[in-house]
């Protein structure tokens, strides 16, 4: 196991923000992960598990404890059953499944970070989310002190949420198993309107698998949602806010505000009576357009939903911008935006 004392964390995050960790451990096998977690728990040491650092906002003071970076490897495909070690790079694993001609996670191409983090916030994009394909998650349960295998139904997946996110100090994901689909070189049915429009097909149709994969990568790159070290628009944590899910009462109040301004808001009704609307739309219409901000942290010039570090920002700069956007949307529409990335040692 690789150990570094007083290790800078900023280079381990896609925002390039955050102070140092007292100690950084890098684990390359499941046994090393479990040993490190057991040792930290036995010593009562604060522990932060990280993968690719693409969904983290770490405070400028850093982390006064042990940071465990999971760098395990393992990609096994048997028929349509895929098993990934937690440390596998997600975007590379997706590309390999497309090379193998299997559908199921092709619309999740280009999402940064590790495979082990994908069940944590039920990673999703362009009409797919991992919950649709995960069969089992193998994890170390810090409460029970043993390895557990959770079936999909035990993971409590919902929109950008799961049991792993609900109980953040309990599970360390070691392996994720997926059931993919052999669809004769075709993709899963296209669900997302923008993808369907771009491909010139109706929602629900299947298209050539590689075309689907490449189309998503192109759409994402156009929004600064594929990592590129040379492009500050990608020095972000992806979408900074989740799309608000409104109760019938909240949605009625929201519509009244929107109608008054003769605007038309995106609305996706859910079967349980709630309605999801678009955080990007709210931010833009509240006056925070692409590139907003004059400091070292600004909105991405390609996407209003990404808060970015232009190179010299501190975490406090980023949070000041996030608070300004959140408060502006609340004042304009009465809707409370909630951060998607995990905050470490800071609050919005």
Ligand X SMILES: Cc1cc2nc3c(=O)[nH]c(=O)nc-3n(C[C@H](O)[C@H](O)[C@H](O)COP(=O)(O)OP(=O)(O)OC[C@H]3O[C@@H](n4cnc5c(N)ncnc54)[C@H](O)[C@@H]3O)c2cc1C
- Give catalytic residues, as residue numbers: 160, 239, 340
x/- contact string, 40-69, with ligand X (CB under 6 A)?
A: ---------xxxxxxxx-------------
Cβ of residue 5: shortest distance to ligand X, in angstroms? 21
x/- contact string, 272-311, with ligand X (CB under 6 A)?
A: ----------------------------------------
Cα 61-64-67 angle, rounded to 5 deg: 105
Residue 118 or 251 having the CB closest to ligand X: 118
Cβ of residue 146: shortest distance to ligand X, in angstroms? 16
Residue 163 or 285 having the CB closest to ligand X: 163
Residue position matching structure tokens 């935006």: 337
Does 120 contact ligand X by CB under 6 A? yes
Count of residues engaged in binding ligand X, rule: CB under 6 A: 34
Does 14 contact ligand X by CB under 6 A? yes
Contact 162, 179 (CB under 8 A): no
Q: How do 47-50 and 63-70 pair as beta strands? A: parallel
Q: How do 342-344 and 56-58 pair as beta strands? A: parallel
Query: Beta strands of the chain (E only): which ranges?
Result: 2-8, 20-27, 47-50, 56-58, 63-70, 75-78, 81-85, 102-103, 124-125, 128-129, 134-141, 146-151, 171-179, 181-182, 245-246, 268-269, 275-276, 297-299, 307-309, 342-344
- What lies within 8 Å, CB to CB, of 72 at 6+ separation is 27, 28, 29, 30, 32, 33, 85, 86, 87, 88, 116, 174
Compute CA distances 86 → 137, 255, 276, 310, whole Å. Answer: 10, 42, 31, 30
Cβ of residue 311: shortest distance to ligand X, in angstroms? 16
Compute CA distances 44 → 133, 170, 282, whole Å. Answer: 36, 14, 43
Among 173, 245, 282, 335, binds ligand X (CB under 6 A): 173
Specify the stretch interacting with ligand X by CB under 6 A; choose among 2-10, 119-127, 190-198, 327-335: 119-127
Residue 96 or 302 having the CB closest to ligand X: 302
Does 172 contact ligand X by CB under 6 A? yes
Among 17, 58, 71, 86, binds ligand X (CB under 6 A): 86
Does 217 contact ligand X by CB under 6 A? no
Cβ of residue 226: shortest distance to ligand X, in angstroms? 7
Specify the stretch interacting with ligand X by CB under 6 A; choose among 21-29, 116-124, 192-200, 307-315: 116-124
Contact 58, 13 (CB under 8 A): yes
* CB neighbour class for 176 (10 Å; exposed up to 12, middle 13-18, buried from 19): buried
Does 127 contact ligand X by CB under 6 A? no
90-99 helix and 209-222 helix, angle to the nearest 10 degrees: 150
Restricting to residues 226-255, which ones interact with ligand X according to CB under 6 A?
Answer: 227, 234, 236-238
Cβ of residue 49: shortest distance to ligand X, in angstroms? 4
* CB neighbour class for 22 (10 Å; exposed up to 12, middle 13-18, buried from 19): middle
Specify the stretch interacting with ligand X by CB under 6 A; choose among 73-81, 112-120, 274-282, 326-334: 112-120
Does 225 contact ligand X by CB under 6 A? yes
Does 155 contact ligand X by CB under 6 A? no
Interface with ligand X by CB under 6 A: which residues? Answer: 14, 49-56, 70, 86, 111-114, 116-118, 120-121, 123-125, 164, 171-173, 225, 227, 234, 236-238, 342
């Amino acid at each position: 196991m690789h150990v570094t004392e007083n290790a800078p964390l900023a280079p381990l995050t896609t925002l390039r923000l955050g102070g140092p960790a007292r100690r950084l451990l890098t684990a390359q096998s499941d046994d090393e992960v479990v040993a490190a977690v057991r040792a930290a728990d036995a010593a009562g040491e604060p522990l932060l598990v990280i993968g690719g650092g693409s969904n983290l906002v770490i405070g400028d003071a850093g982390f006064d404890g042990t940071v465990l970076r999971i760098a395990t490897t393992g990609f096994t495909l048997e028929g349509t059953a895929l098993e990934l070690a937690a440390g596998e790079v997600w975007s590379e694993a997706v590309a390999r499944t497309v090379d193998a001609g299997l559908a199921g996670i092709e619309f999740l191409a280009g999402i940064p970070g590790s495979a082990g983090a994908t069940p944590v916030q039920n990673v999703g994009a362009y009409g797919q989310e991992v919950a649709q394909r995960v069969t089992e998650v193998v994890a170390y349960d810090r409460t029970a002190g043993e390895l557990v295998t959770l079936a999909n139904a035990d993971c409590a997946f919902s929109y950008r949420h799961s049991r792993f996110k609900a109980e953040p100090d309990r599970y360390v994901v070691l392996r994720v198993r997926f059931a993919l689909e052999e669809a004769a070189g075709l993709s899963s049915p296209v669900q997302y309107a923008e993808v369907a429009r771009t491909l010139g097909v109706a929602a629900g149709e299947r298209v050539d698998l590689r075309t689907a994969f490449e189309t998503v990568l192109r759409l994402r790159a156009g929004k600064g949602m594929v990592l590129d070290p040379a492009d500050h628009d990608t020095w972000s944590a992806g979408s900074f806010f989740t799309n608000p899910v409104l109760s019938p009462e909240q949605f009625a109040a929201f519509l009244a505000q929107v109608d008054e301004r003769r605007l038309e808001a995106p609305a996706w009704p859910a079967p349980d009576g709630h309605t999801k609307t678009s955080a990007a739309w709210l931010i833009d219409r509240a006056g925070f357009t692409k590139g907003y901000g004059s400091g070292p942290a600004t909105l991405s010039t390609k996407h209003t939903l990404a808060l970015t570090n232009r190179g010299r920002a501190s975490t406090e700069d980023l949070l000041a911008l996030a608070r300004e956007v959140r408060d502006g949307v609340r004042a304009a529409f009465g809707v409370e935006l909630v951060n998607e990335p995990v905050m470490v040692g800071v609050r919005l």
